[in-house]
Amino acid sequence: MSFNSARSIRQWRQIWPESLNLLLESFTAAQGETKGIKDFISVLMLYDEHPAGEVEAAADLALENNIRASDGVLHILIYANDTGAVIVPYEARDIAGIERKPEGIEAFHHGRRHRGSSTPGQGAGIGYDEFLLELTAFELRARGENRLNRRIREAKFPLMKPLETFDLNAVPDLDIRLFRELAGCGYIQERKNIIFLGRSGTGKTHMAAALGAEACKNNYRTRFVTCCGLANELIEAREERQSRRLLQRYSRYDLLILDEPGYVPFSREGSELLFQVLAERHEKGSIIITANPGFADWTQVFGDPVITAALLDRLTHKARIINCTWESYRLKQSLKRK
């Protein structure tokens, strides 16, 4: 379940659990109505960054401990994430009805069925003004734009290459229907991978970054990193005994773009750590990988044939493979200029 600010607060109240009503009540009691509601909205924003179950478990803990501000909820959430501790909800709640991104009216009703009775205005009998909530929702829409910027910043694209800048006429052999479909991000929802294969200059990195930008627009947590950069980051983290934390961070992205395993062989340590990232993400999140050498050469890059085979097995399982068979765009451009 993601906190979709386009949805009105009133609709939202129908699918959030009863404990959030109690939290809202305790916030307004402690902070006054206006401040309390605003602060409560900050808790709702946490749904964008964290799984629904974790937010709700943190809200439960806050209630239990009489913590009456969003800072406290955030603290609980981050503390739990950092230590790798799992917060167990106090009551075994049925969260099957919650999806990260409920789609349309169907998911909405689905959520309600699982949530039971709470309908707007009936909450826990809280005397707050619906008008104030709508006002705050307005404020949130403005925040939505900031969120896109944040997603893009977090993704760390080397260069902004939005979809519009990719010239489809230059690549007649590309399956345009498939590429458009991928731009719709359905593969992220299905946790499928995409592999761009082809020679240098065919636009693999450009396409991967363009799909990444689309993912950001759809509010998916995205990260772009070169294989080499990631391997180095992992080795560094291991030296600082931060491996667990880094692996967890990488398992939380909805989309990880791994650019170019390249030509430089990894150290055994590097490939083992990279393998762990892929293993943690397996079936939890999507990966886009751009690669130059044919699959057969990957053993050279990753060293150990057993690790390579296992890695490829994970990557290619459920993957869409796009073969960039056309000639280099760069080459064509420079020939044109002559």
CA distances from 119 to 38, 58, 109, 125, 268 (A): 21, 23, 12, 11, 57
User: Residue 8 corresponds to which tokens in the numbers above?
Assistant: 């009105």
User: Residue 202 corresponds to which tokens in the numbers above?
Assistant: 């065919």
Query: Which does residue 268 bind out of ligand ADP, Mg ion, none, counting CB within 5 to 8 angstroms by kind?
Result: none
**Radius of gyration (C-alpha) of the chain in whole angstroms:** 23
21 forms part of the interface with ligand ADP (CB under 6 A): no
User: Residue 325 corresponds to which tokens in the numbers above?
Assistant: 């068979």
Query: Which does residue 284 bind out of Mg ion, ligand ADP, none, counting CB within 5 to 8 angstroms by kind?
Result: none
* In contact, 230 and 277? CB cutoff 8 Å: yes
Q: What is the DSSP string of 252-289?
A: H-SEEEEE---SSPPPHHHHHHHHHHHHHHTTTSEEEE
CB of 245 to ligand ADP, least distance (A): 30
CB of 182 to ligand ADP, least distance (A): 15
- Interface with ligand ADP in residues 36-95 (CB under 6 A): none
Query: Which does residue 308 bind out of ligand ADP, Mg ion, none, counting CB within 5 to 8 angstroms by kind?
Result: none
CB of 232 to ligand ADP, least distance (A): 20
Residue from 80, 135, 170, 310 touching ligand ADP (CB under 6 A): that is: 170
Give first-to-last CA distance, the chain, whole Å.
54
Closest to ligand ADP by CB, 200 or 267:
200
Closest to Mg ion by CB, 189 or 328:
328
Query: Which does residue 166 bind out of Mg ion, ligand ADP, none, counting CB within 5 to 8 angstroms by kind?
Result: ligand ADP
CB of 219 to Mg ion, least distance (A): 26
Closest to ligand ADP by CB, 42 or 226:
226
Closest to ligand ADP by CB, 130 or 173:
173
Residue range at the interface with ligand ADP (CB under 6 A); choices 54-62, 65-73, 164-172, 313-321: 164-172
Closest to ligand ADP by CB, 141 or 332:
332
Outline where 65-103 has alpha helix (H).
70-83
CB of 187 to ligand ADP, least distance (A): 19
Positions touching Mg ion (CB under 5 A) are 205
Q: Which residues of 28-46 are buried (b: 16+ CB within 10 A; e: fewer)?
A: beebeeeebbbbbbebbbb
Closest to ligand ADP by CB, 3 or 166:
166
* In contact, 265 and 298? CB cutoff 8 Å: no
- Interface with ligand ADP in residues 144-163 (CB under 6 A): 161
Taking the C-alpha atoms of residue 24 and residue 21, their distance in angstroms, rounded to an integer, is 5
Residue 312: strand, helix, or coil: helix
Using CB under 6 A as the criterion, what x/- string covers residues 268-307 for binding ligand ADP?
----------------------x-----------------
Using CB under 6 A as the criterion, what x/- string covers residues 192-211 for binding ligand ADP?
------x-xxxxxxx-----
Q: Classify residue 176 as exposed, middle or buried by CB count within 10 Å of its CB (0-12, 13-18, 19+).
A: exposed
CA distances from 137 to 30, 55, 73, 126 (A): 21, 19, 20, 18
Closest to ligand ADP by CB, 97 or 198:
198
* Contact set with ligand ADP (CB under 6 A): 161, 166-167, 170-171, 198, 200-206, 290, 329-330
